[in-house]
A and B are shown apart, each in its own frame.
Chain A
């Protein structure tokens, strides 16, 4: 980010990091997305809310390469992109924490953090025999968890299945934060968590934003959304019904827009 960007931060001239225009996605005769546009600015938490079947999940799948939109444009830092697989989005610095967490239960915390992008030892052992740098990855995993202030996970050699729901979520978020250079997308990060664990995850979201990383947050939980979001994108029947802020509208307004009882 340049100084000029920082100065204009907060005004309408700042450049979105990610931009979607008129995304359309159909599944047979079912219309998942019916021309959805979305802007994500640096250092903001953009919440996406909507009723079941409103197209929240389809929208983020199209943004993260898990689904390919039928039509519409997607740009990252002003560059047009076409994601065919989740890896394509990842290459552009977009990391996603999926609702089902996408962690491998039997592997330990460090292995999960580096899953799919393992680091090899330097020298012939790594180059010829392709030996993993297990110690190095464990050290880095620990550093990353400390940096994110995740104190409940000290032992990175524990299999993920031995962790609580909140700790697993922390592992998934840490993985996204460690490798997401531009955008972190969180799909229902607090859905399966208790009160205290939810608060930890929400604090993680704020920390990511404070480090300048924009976050897209999909959630059903209105208090959580109004707690951390800077802007709220409301999906209804495959379209964007409105984009509001926690200041401009109340939760009741948001629910009304979501259900079609009111318009923004």
Chain B
């Protein structure tokens, strides 16, 4: 009894102290909390700093023509990265995005040029190819419960082979295509700059996907599935349906990416853009979306794609070898993942 009396008040005091201690925030932990809540803040800062630094290093960097060029250089990877973001948000990864886009672009170009189909029909066929590829990935991931990494590693090779078989390895030149297919490569003037249509298409996709992810139940379910699959299932979410729809949506986005690619390169080549797989993952990771799923945004991804574009462009304007661009991108990736890990510690 006496023991309790003496032990009672101090232990209550300890509890309060402990709570105070837990509530107390250092500047660092406050920064971490902000980054945790708004994951796009850190890539935005990196982009801002990069633009300022490269602008100081070279006057040509900040010229509007150069900035417009960067957005064009980013448009294809930026679009693939939307699809990649959707899949990474579900704690998956898609190694086949570049291959699906190339396959889709070859089908569009061949049907229009070699088979003489009208451009809208060819584009529709390209969309169907994208959806079918997404359906195959989604089917293997949901029905056979195979890890997305393995599934898309397999389909990556399958799609590359299909592309080469279908095209006989031949490139279709843009000059032979109907105007509608290369429309995404056309530019229109806005004040002193020329803006590429492909960039506008990419931005519209970003707005649409950001809206769907942020404002609809489906978007919330995508995050919930990536965050904790079992919790999502127990909360009544049809996890496999959500996963399947994510792969289908990614396939549709990739088909649009194929269109932008045809316009940007003014050709459809079976050998182009195989490194776009990794570039799209790079954009997503630098953009602050977690590879573990459930955390991130497409706006972060857009920033990530722009950061890579700005680094490559800025370093080459600074007269550095391409090798150093790749080196810089590598360092960026590791920094981005380190920051993600650090932000995640908010939990514990």
A residues adjacent to B (C-beta < 8 A): 66, 86-87, 90, 96, 98, 100-107, 111-112, 115-118, 120, 129-132, 134, 159, 161-162, 196
Contact of A107 (CB < 8 Å), options: B211, B216, B220:
B220
User: Does B323 reach chain A (CB closer than 8 Å)?
Assistant: no
Q: Can you list 22 A-B pairs, Cβ within 8 angstroms, ordered by A? A: A86-B233, A96-B234, A100-B230, A102-B231, A102-B235, A104-B223, A104-B224, A104-B235, A105-B227, A106-B223, A106-B295, A107-B224, A107-B227, A115-B220, A115-B237, A116-B235, A131-B215, A132-B216, A132-B217, A134-B215, A159-B36, A162-B346
Q: Would B37 and A159 count as touching, CB distance under 8 A?
A: yes
Chain B: how many interface residues by the 8 Å CB criterion?
Answer: 27
Q: Would A111 and B295 count as touching, CB distance under 8 A?
A: no
A102 to B230, CA, bound (A): 7
Known: A100-B230, A104-B231, A105-B347. A90 touches B236 (CB 8 A): yes
Q: Would B216 and A130 count as touching, CB distance under 8 A?
A: yes
CB proximity of A86 to chain B, nearest CB, Å: 6
Contact of B234 (CB < 8 Å), options: A98, A106, A159, A161:
A98
A118 to B223, CA, bound (A): 14
A244 to B102, CA, bound (A): 69
Chain A residue at smallest Cβ distance from B231? A102
Q: Would A86 and B236 count as touching, CB distance under 8 A?
A: yes
Chain A residues contacting B215 (CB-CB under 8 Å) are 129, 131-132, 134
Chain A residues contacting B236 (CB-CB under 8 Å) are 86-87, 90, 115-117
A134 to B230, CA, bound (A): 24
Q: Would B294 and A104 count as touching, CB distance under 8 A?
A: yes
Chain B residues contacting A159 (CB-CB under 8 Å) are 36-37
Known: A107-B220, A111-B220, A115-B224. A102 touches B234 (CB 8 A): yes
CB proximity of B26 to chain A, nearest CB, Å: 16
Since A131-B215, A162-B347 are in contact, a sample of 8 more A-B pairs with Cβ atoms closer than 8 Å, ordered by chain A residue number, is: A66-B234, A96-B234, A100-B230, A102-B235, A103-B231, A116-B232, A120-B217, A161-B346
Q: Would B237 and A116 count as touching, CB distance under 8 A?
A: yes
Chain A residues contacting B216 (CB-CB under 8 Å) are 129-132
Chain B, 225-245, CB within 8 A of any chain A CB: 227-228, 230-237
A96 to B15, CA, bound (A): 31
A97 to B228, CA, bound (A): 15
A34 to B231, CA, bound (A): 28
A125 to B235, CA, bound (A): 25
Chain B residues contacting A131 (CB-CB under 8 Å) are 215-216
A116 to B233, CA, bound (A): 9
Chain B residue at smallest Cβ distance from A175? B235
Scoring B218, B224, B236 by chain A CB atoms within 10 A of each residue's CB, the highest score goes to B236
Q: Would B217 and A104 count as touching, CB distance under 8 A?
A: no
A112 to B234, CA, bound (A): 12
